[in-house]
Structure 1
Amino acid sequence: MSTATEELLEPIAAELQEFERRLHESIAADLGPMASAMELIVRAGGKRLRPALVILSSRLGEAKQDFVFDLAMGIEFIHTATLVHDDLIDSSPTRRGITTIHEQFGPNPAIIIGDYYFAKGANLLAAIGEPRIDAAISNAVMTICMGELLQMTSRNDYDQSLDDYYRKIGRKTATLVSTCCYCGGVLSGLGDDDVEALRRYGYELGMAFQIADDVLDYIASSDEVGKPVGADLRQGTVTLPLMLALEDPQTAPRLRAVLDQRSLSDSDYDIVVNLVRGSVAIEDAEQHANDFGSRARAELAHFDDSVARQALARICDYVVERRM
């Protein structure tokens, strides 16, 4: 976790520390190969955005602390399981600067490890005994799968619409972020209107997060993001910066000349990345992220001022302004 993230989440530092302790303790109880694989991912760090959103959302009311940690761990296990499978599907060699599970253990073990942690996460959530949480999580996993399939079937589709892009990232990313906030609100005993406001907050935040992530794929260094620059592009994943650059009359002809080739070399990918960087697309994509972030922040007006609400508002700023 970066220094900026630590400062952002300082109001729940003690809870996040306890979350980490319980997470590692739970992993250590698993079968050797399972535990070894999961520890590789967990120890690589990450922003812990989803557990933080669970904790902060639950603070808007009153929730049993053990259930809050079970919810946060359950969602984190499910999220991590999706990453294991995503990396395998995308043939990604690294994540956050470390070798991916399928590269270290092989594709078949990676499938099993991902499946195991899907089930482990679901088991933790079922123990809470709240049907609304069970329904929300199962719906989120189904939606994530649909999003992954949409991404797989739209590889190298440089003419997809903005709605197509939003549909993909809404299902792949925003849905789970939204579910974190909704479930935290359910645990805390908030009324229906408030938990729906949290759901909407999380969805808008998740959209902003993914767009900002897609921008970073073009403008950050490989050391900063823990993967090669333009990794999405090289895998055929078309994201908002490229889509907007293809609408820029100053950049589009040169981009098309490269992208319309039968196959692209490393130098071709570098040309595309540099053209996108030099276009208006980066600034325009950042504005899209900012718009989603503003809508997320507006949903917090449903709640009285509190430390938790203030932290949720600051997360909106962090997500759209971050440079890792």
Structure 2
Amino acid sequence: MTTTESSNALAESKGFSRRTVIKTAAWSVPVVAVAVSTPLAAASVGAASLTFAVAPIVAVEAPYGAQALTVTNAGSEPFTGAIVFSTPAWATIAPFTSAVMVQGTDGSNITWTLPAGFLPAGQSLQIDLEWTTGAWPLTAEVQPLSASIDSILGTITPAGGATVASPYQLLWFGVTPGGLGNTAGTPSLFIANTTEAPFNGVVTTRYTPSWTFPLVSATPIVINGTSYGSRQAENGVFVSRYTNMPVSVAARGGEQTLPFSWVLPGGPTIAQQQRNLGATTTGAGETLPVLGSPTIYSAYRV
């Protein structure tokens, strides 16, 4: 069996990938089939050394909980065998599921068994975690995650995050990729809603300092063909304020993309600039926390 390079890209309506590209092993789906052609004796020449980590909750996906689990063979020997993950019972939400793992219980803990497969040395396997629908809790529930394998085959230890966080209710915003060195600049920001109620209101964003090149070259957010934004003086400092933008976001997973329109007039080369989103408020007085990076990069001409 040969290994492959794959990226677990989730193409969203916002037009960007929400997952980090990683090198994955050719773990077949269903993985049970691998055990037939890869006997356990293959691991008898040495013990594998595995690590596991959970995608961090403080990321673009944060309200949706932990999204993926990565297993890496950090040793010099291949691994052929099953992996059993477990957490304590979940109190406020149904636990995650996985298309490639078998869910069960050992009495007090919930278990997820990844059937026997083959993971070469130096390779990683990403396992997507899915959450059942339902009323999400007001805050994320966090549970420790443990893993075990046959001790004859090797060891498995946590590397990085060893906890799993559930989805939770939140009205929030994020900035889409398109960062430093991207001549097109940041394409948009978006408002997302994982609360149990839809949001219909207005949003105001504020950047400090204002863009130093002419405002026309940083034409602001566009919603349904209408541009919002102006440069205003605040306490002797110019800021860019995009006020009273209408936003309508459905409950339980709704999102609205607010694209930027970068207008590059003729003239000399325009250097790329970056600004952080200073504050976002709604007409209803609610706050919109930022998840992930708030940095917006301008488009520029090279």
| Fold shared per TM-score above 0.5 | no
Q: RCO higher in 1 or 2 (8 Å CA, sep ≥ 6)?
A: 1
Work out which of the two has the higher radius of gyration on C-alpha atoms and give 1 or 2: 2
TM-score by length of 1: 0.26
**Structure having the larger proportion of residues in helix:** 1
When the two structures are superposed, what TM-score results if normalisation uses the length of structure 2? 0.27
* Structure (1/2) with the larger strand percentage: 2
